[in-house]
Amino acid sequence: MAGLGLSSGPVAAGVLAETTAAINPDTMILFGALGGMCAFAVTAAVSLVRHRKQSAQVTATLEKEKGDLKFRVDRLEAMLNTDEQRVIVWTGNGAMPQIWGILPEKSGVPRPPAQLLAFGSWLTAKCAGDLERFLDMLFRTGEAFTTTLKTRTGTYVEALGRTTGGAVVLRLRDLTGERQMQAELAARNAKISGELHMLHSLLDAMPDPAWQRDAEGNLIWANDAYAEAVEMSDAESAVKEGATFLDAAARTAMAVQRTEDGCFNARIPIVASGERRVFEITDVNANVGGAGIAVDISELEQAKKELGRAEEFHGRTLDQLAAAVAIYSSDRKLQFYNAAFRQLWDLDATFLEGHPEDGAVLDALRAARKIPEQADYRGWRKKMMESYQSLEARENWWHLPDGRTLRVIANPHPQGGVTYIYENVTEQLDLESRYNALTRVQGETLDNLSEAVAVFGSDGRLRLWNPAFGRIWDLEEDQLSELPHVKQVVSACTLSDTEEEAWELLAGNVTGLLDNRTQKVNRLERHNGDVLDYATVPLPDGGTLVTFVDVTDSVNVERALLEKNEALEQADQIKNAFIQHVSYELRSPLTNIIGFAQLLADPKFGELSEKQGEYAEYIQSSSSALLAIINDILDLATLDAGIMELDLGEVDVANTVSAAVEGLKDRIAEARINLRMHVPEDIGVMIADEKRLRQVLFNLISNAVRYSEPDGVVDVSCDRDENNVTFVVKDHGYGIPAEILTQVFKRFVGHDTGTRRQGAGLGLAIVKSFVELHGGAVDIDSAEGKGTTVTCTFPARPELADQAAAE
């Protein structure tokens, strides 16, 4: 049939026609049915193959979708089972909810499902109730929620409730890091907000002003009392207007007196509601702002002031009393004591401030052995306590173990209690005996004084005298015992005009008015040559004390010393005059000797032998040394006469130092001295007499060389500042003994240095004179065996120094 199906063309048609013509109709029907069945079978087979292919494709697709869905479910379950969250799903069929995921133990969420669903077991009561309420609304209305829950361990968990299809999903997530901090901050904020609201409510109910400020100091809250104090309608208006309760003085005090922790507490008078009242201000300041409260203590302050003034007045009055006072109340407890009481008994201040009973005070005094010893102390104490039942004051005498005697007065109060007054009468009892003893001592003292003492009363009569007074003035005891008037004493004691004049002056001081009398001290020379120093001293009672001291021997010695001093000064003047005249007389012949010695040494006038040349050099060196001494003496004489004048001008300091050193070059080489100069190149110039300055440096360096050991070192340094030029010459030689150091600037004072020859002793005297003539100063420092340092300070410009000194 397939072959037939595939045939085509006229041949096939012919064949078919022949075949058809040969087949009968039944066969045709049979063949037709058979052909239809074959076609149906082919069509069904093709459809089956195609359907199987489509079914295989659908099955493969479904299998793939099933695998994908299973993978997604597994992945979702894996995600739900992580430790970041816990999911609870209610499907609504009454079955137990499904739970996925876990949370770390530190989150505070339990892992067992039964315990997890018991929210009250692991959440705080408030959070558990909130969660139950949110879930109920979610089940009933489908209202989603997101909230933060606090566990009993103090951690925070985020709860998210949603509906998905017909299921209710609750997801719990542990808050960590910033979310945990945010949750804690939110909880803390809610707590602080509640506490702040509660605090504001409390302060609003108080009758005292209270306020709160921000970090910039602006008012952000105030209570009703604050608004009333600043005369505003309400607190909101006061905050809006920024009304200030504290005045400028209070704000200044607050800024100054605030402690390091930002607290301020003080009592300040402030005008509030139109009245000046006293408030106790407490203000706290921090970086976020500040808050304060003012408590009105005006009435309390007034009452305390009045009570304090009364107590202070009574206490001050009683403290001024010399007598000790103690006040006991009706219950026999100490209520008050003054300073004299505390000083008298020397009891512990803590014990007294504890208000002890009267008997306890007596017991403490007895234990300290400060009250009289009693054979029957209990009976004596009981008798002392009877003063509380007495109606009249009682007096007792206490003879204390330390020798004091007290007069004790117990004065009962009409309302109960006793006031004790302890009067120390020891001095009063001892006064008479002391007075008598003092009188005897005074009499013996006056009688044995070498000074003559006499006391005249305000009426001018003699009241007191000693034997020396009668002995000096040759007055008999009988005359003095009659207490003569000062006029009678004057007539008896005056034998010369000088004595009469002195006694008239004394009499005037004795009989003069009190305001006109003054202490007088003078000297009197008597007719017999005695010399007396006398003095009159006005006494407070109107009398006059007159004393006479025989100073004859002292005056004679003084006179002898004065005469000797005058003779020494005259001898010194004669010596100086002699030296000056001799110096002038020696200078001319000495100049001739030097000149002729130089001529002899000059080869032009003939050759000298070696010995003769040596002698000529000795003559020149010795003559030059002698001429230098004579010139120094003449310079000193000129200075003494006050006719020395300086030739001031600009002096090159460095050249002057070099010139002085050059003049001593031979001497330095002979003594084998190492001279070190420390003169800055920019030392510049100064105003001075160049010749005298060179002479000063010459003498200083010469002394340093003379008193240095061979191969020693001498340092010459120079320095200057804005106003002065300083020269320092320092040697490291023998030094100057301490007993001579104070005299080195005197003339003709020197000291030996062993093998070295002592100089004339004029060098330092010349140095001091010339330096001071320039307006400068000289200082010397020396120690034996260590050397000597001489410092000369010259004013750089003497005329400016003189001008400053004049100003």
Half-sphere exposure of 212 (CA within 13 A, CB side): 14
Torsion angle of the four alpha carbons 112, 118, 124, 128, in this order, in degrees rounded to the nearest 10: 130
Q: Tokens 């100490």: give the residue.
A: 334
Q: What pLDDT is stored for residue 39 in this prediction?
A: 86
Q: According to the model, what pLDDT value does residue 8 have?
A: 43
User: Which secondary-structure segment (H or E) carries 692?
Assistant: helix 690-706
Residue 439 clears pLDDT 80, i.e. is over it: no
Average pLDDT over the chain reads: 78
Crossing angle, helix 763-773 and helix 610-641, to 10 degrees?
40
Of 761, 576, 729, 590, which Cα lies nearest the Cα of 664? 729
| Three-class secondary structure of residue 348 per DSSP | coil
**pLDDT bracket for residue 78 (50, 70, 90):** low
Residue type (1 letter), 626: L
Predicted local distance difference test score (pLDDT) of residue 96: 80
pLDDT at 25 over 60: yes
Q: Are 642 and 636 in contact (CB under 8 A)?
A: no
DSSP state of 260: T
Burial 592-615 (b: 16+ CB within 10 A, else e): ebbeebeebbeeeeeeeeeeeeee
User: What length is written for the chain?
Assistant: 807
Q: How far apart are CA 278 and CA 296, in angstroms?
A: 6
- The per-residue pLDDT for 727 is 92
What integer pLDDT is reported at residue 5 of this predicted model?
38
Average pLDDT over residues 307-319: 71
HSE toward the beta carbon, residue 238, CA cutoff 13 A: 24
Helices marked H in 215-297 — which ranges?
224-229, 235-241, 248-257
User: Kindly report the CA angle at 44 between 42 and 45, in degrees rounded to 5?
Assistant: 65
Calculate Rg over the CA atoms of the chain: 65
Strands 462-465 and 544-550: unpaired
Q: Is-contact 86 101, C-beta < 8 A? A: yes
- Supply the pLDDT for residue 12: 46
| pLDDT average, residue stretch 506-524 | 74
Predicted local distance difference test score (pLDDT) of residue 514: 56
pLDDT digits (tens, 9 = 90+) for 170-184: 888 877 655 666 666
Per the CB < 8 A criterion, the answer to whether 397 and 407 are in contact is yes
Share of the chain above pLDDT 90, in %: 2
pLDDT tens readout for residues 693-723: 888 888 888 888 888 888 889 999 999 888 8
> Residues 234, 240: contact at Cβ < 8 Å?
no
DSSP summary character for residue 96: P
The Cα 163–Cα 170 span in angstroms is 9
Burial category of 721 from C-beta neighbours within 10 Å (exposed 0-12, middle 13-18, buried 19 and up): exposed
Location of structure tokens 């704000």? 251
What the block records as the tokens of 618 is: 């000795």
- Whole-number pLDDT of residue 801: 47
On whether the CB atoms of residues 130 and 147 are closer than 8 A, the answer is: yes
Q: What is the mean pLDDT of residues 200-209?
A: 81
Provide the percentage of residues in the chain whose pLDDT is more than 70. 82
792, 692 contact by CB (below 8 A): no
The pairing of strands 394-399 and 648-652 is: unpaired
